[in-house]
Structure 1
Amino acid sequence: MIVRTHEDAEDSAINEEKFISRRYTLRADGMGHSVHETYIKPGCELRMWYRNHRETVLCLEGEGSIEDLTEGGKWELKPGVLYALDKHQQHVLSSEKGMTVLCVFTPALVGPEDHDEQGSYPLYDDDGSILKR
């Protein structure tokens, strides 16, 4: 059994200008997915495109919005609202006052990934080499 606290997740946190991602489980845990708590900082907008991963996101705290740039549409996010990027949609996630979301990635992230210029994460092989950018 894997049990981790918020403090444990701080060890693998990615703290960027627009967000903080605390990574609770990663590929090394062998679950097939990774779980992250991500805080979108106030007034920030993140343009992303997970070409190599699928992501499911549940809003836990605060408010924001998700805009689908691939298929169209924009939805308000508040606690209890979930969205899933089932077709690798390009999207914009934003929050005026700050928002905390729970994110699940498949395949699981390795840990140190950060968004590239297109807002995507690379896909790593089991030996740590990059399979796809």
Structure 2
Amino acid sequence: MIVRNLDQDILGTDREVEAENGNWVSRRLVLADDRVGFSFHDTIIRAGTETYIHYANHIEAVYCVAGNGEIYDIEADTTHQIRDGMMYLLNNHDRHYLRGGTEDMRLICVFNPPLTGAEVHDENGHYPLLTLD
């Protein structure tokens, strides 16, 4: 059994990763080295920000538990409002913009395959597909 506390075990460690541009911070509660087949993240998207993302190598499910924002689906030319209780699933490696709203947005995210924790978005909005040795 794995038991972790955000305040005691994640914040201020290498499992708390902040975007270089300051748009978001991802607190990575479960990673590939936990060997459970997915990773699990508590992510803050800062108000008023915009981030281009295209997970070509991962599927991501996202559930909003606080705040507000929107996701713009580039292919469908559609914008979806995000608020507490909303979920979206990037099941087609969807290219999108994630935009923070009038307040910080707190998202619970699951990635498959799992992230190792070393990933950063590249110039194409991708996370590379990293695996453990």
> Normalising to structure 1: TM-score of the pair?
0.91
Q: Pairwise CA RMSD of aligned residues?
A: 1.0
- How much has 1:124 moved relative to structure 2? 1.3
Residue in 2 that maps onto 1:87 = 92
Structure 1: where are the runs of 5+ without partners?
Answer: 128-133
Matched, 1:47 2:55: no
> How far off is 1:76 after superposition?
0.5
- Give secondary structure in 2 for the equivalent of 1:28: helix
Matches within 5 A, 1:62-81: 62-81=67-86
3-state SS in 1 of match to 2:97: strand
The count of residues paired between Structure 1 and Structure 2 equals: 127
- Letter of the 1:5 counterpart: N
TM-score (norm 2): 0.91
Q: Is the 8 A contact 2:55 2:95 kept in 1?
A: yes
2:28 is aligned with 1:27: no
- 1:118 Cα offset (Å): 1.1
1:9 corresponding residue in structure 2: 10
Q: 1:37-56 CA deviation, whole Å, 9 max, x = no partner? A: 11011210111000000000
| CA positional deviation for 1:117 | 0.7
Equivalence for 1:114: 120
- Take 2:96 and 2:52, find their aligned partners in 1: how far apart are those partners? 6
CA deviations over 1:47-93 (Å, ceiling 9, x no partner): 10000000000001000001111233111001110000000000111
Q: Could you say what secondary structure the match of 1:24 adopts?
A: strand
Assess if the C-alpha contact under 8 Å between 1:71 and 1:89 holds in 2.
no
- Percent identical among aligned pairs is 39
**Match of 1:130?**
none
Q: Which runs of 4+ in 1 moved over 3 A?
A: none
Q: 2:65 aligns with which of 57, 60, 63?
A: 60
* Contact kept? 1:34, 1:107, Cα under 8 Å: yes
Structure 2: state its 5+ residue gaps.
none
